[in-house]
Amino acid sequence: MNVITTPLPATVTVTTPARVHLGFLDLNGGLGRRFGSIGLAISGLRTRLTITRAAQTSVEGPDAERIARYLDVMQRRLQLVGGHHVKVNEIVPAHAGLGSGTQLALAVAWGLRTMYRLREDIHGDMAALGRGARSGIGIGAFGGGGLVVDAGRGAQTKVPPIVGRAFFPEHWRVVVVLDPQRQGVHGADEINAFAGLAPMSAGDAAHLCRLVLMKALPAAAEDDLVSFGSAITELQARLGDYFAPTQGGQRFSSPDVAAVLRHLEAQGAFGVGQSSWGPTGFAFAESEAQANQLVAIALRHFGRGLDIRVCAGLNRGAECQSDPEDAKNTV
């Protein structure tokens, strides 16, 4: 009897979406869990890595040092023999509030597991790679896209669990405002920033949870951008005030981004806010035409030094393409 085996792919390419962090839910922690967050996977900004088996491990492209660390951890975790070459084809800007580190880690881990046809273990891999310390929405965006809610961290949590996912209306658009001259708080500075903040009041945390569960998510389900935008704007304003002491007393880490967002809101944009620690800001529009109009207005007034673009919500997760004889995998 002849046994036919399919050879392992020599090369895989993983494409993962950026995400915008729309806000935390509970910075009080009185119920035994802290953080929790809502976020959205978006098109137009993505990370795309090609991993090839090689004699020695090497990385070609930006953020090579971080990718090399993730490779080393995963190669040892999976007990892989030999090396791997990683080529960075596209990458989400680092420390911009768009989840670049988590997407890099997920891309490396899933790419290697696909290459060797190993069982998926996203939560275990992310814990080993040190991701998901406070937010799980990057993992949720990777896994299926859409509007994602995670439940934060409890006493036994390794990675914040995804407890909600909603379809994002396909005709809505997100105006994303990047400031390439700045970076958001990260690393040790981020740890120190959280440590220096007093716990949020239980009443404020309860109100944020109510805004998400009883206003933002139902509004998305009912295609009601006015209510959705109102919920996100209030969520962001309250969180902006809470985090202001770590951002020079301001709701936004980039004054230039803040100026653009104020102008966009005055011109009819919805749901204005900052993604994570920024400096990236966002606003929502009811259509691509309206979003393009808002971007044109912003560029006329504030175009210098900023990257302002229109993105769509992405209702699917990451993709992995193996050698031609292998089928395309989608999370």
- Would you place residue 1 in the very low, low, confident or very high pLDDT band (cuts 50, 70, 90)? very low
Reported as a single tens digit per residue, the pLDDT across 110-126 is 999 999 999 999 889 99
Are 255 and 276 a contacting pair, CB within 8 Å?
A: no
Reported as a single tens digit per residue, the pLDDT across 255-276 is 999 999 999 999 999 999 999 9
Angle at which helix 137-144 crosses helix 100-115, to 10 degrees, equals 50
* Domain at 11-326: CATH architecture: 2-Layer Sandwich (3.30)
Are 108 and 67 a contacting pair, CB within 8 Å?
A: yes
Element (H, E) at 83: strand 83-90
Query: Taking 90 as the threshold, does the pLDDT of residue 2 lie above it?
Result: no
pLDDT score, position 303 = 67
- Would you place residue 281 in the very low, low, confident or very high pLDDT band (cuts 50, 70, 90)? very high
Domain ranges of the chain: 11-326
58 bridge partner residues: 85
pLDDT score, position 155 = 92
- Choose among 210, 211, 228: nearest CA to 219: 228
Are 99 and 141 a contacting pair, CB within 8 Å?
A: yes
Give the chain's mean pLDDT.
92
Q: How many angstroms from the chain centroid is the CA of residue 205?
A: 22
Reported as a single tens digit per residue, the pLDDT across 201-252 is 999 999 999 999 999 999 999 999 999 999 999 999 999 999 999 888 899 9
Reported as a single tens digit per residue, the pLDDT across 94-112 is 999 999 999 999 999 999 9
Reported as a single tens digit per residue, the pLDDT across 55-86 is 999 999 999 999 999 999 999 999 998 899 99
